[in-house]
Amino acid sequence: MFDFVLKIALLGASVSMIGFLYRLIKGPSVPDRVIALDAMGINLIAIVALASIVMDTGAYLEAILLLGILSFIGTVAFAKFLEKGEIIEDDRNR
């Protein structure tokens, strides 16, 4: 029963990725696209975690951690770009 529930959750997470992809491509504004990209990162982490549980292995735990870090850094960079228009500030006096 638990294996069946895991496979249904994996299928649901995979199908929701299609909705996020649609919002990423068709989003009415740039912040909507950024949120969709962040949600896709979180959803990808969930898919890898569920696949790891289904396969009964811990080999993908490092990949989950790496995906989480990259998703967070990407979201922060996009948010900073949307707020200030640049990611890396040049504070040198010219």
pTM: 0.82
Q: Within 10 Å of residue 35's Cβ, how many Cβ atoms?
A: 17
What are the angstrom distances between the C-alpha of 57 and each of 48, 62, 63? 11, 12, 13
End-to-end CA distance of the chain: 67
pLDDT tens sequence across 15-68? 999 999 999 999 899 889 989 999 999 999 999 999 999 999 999 999 999 999
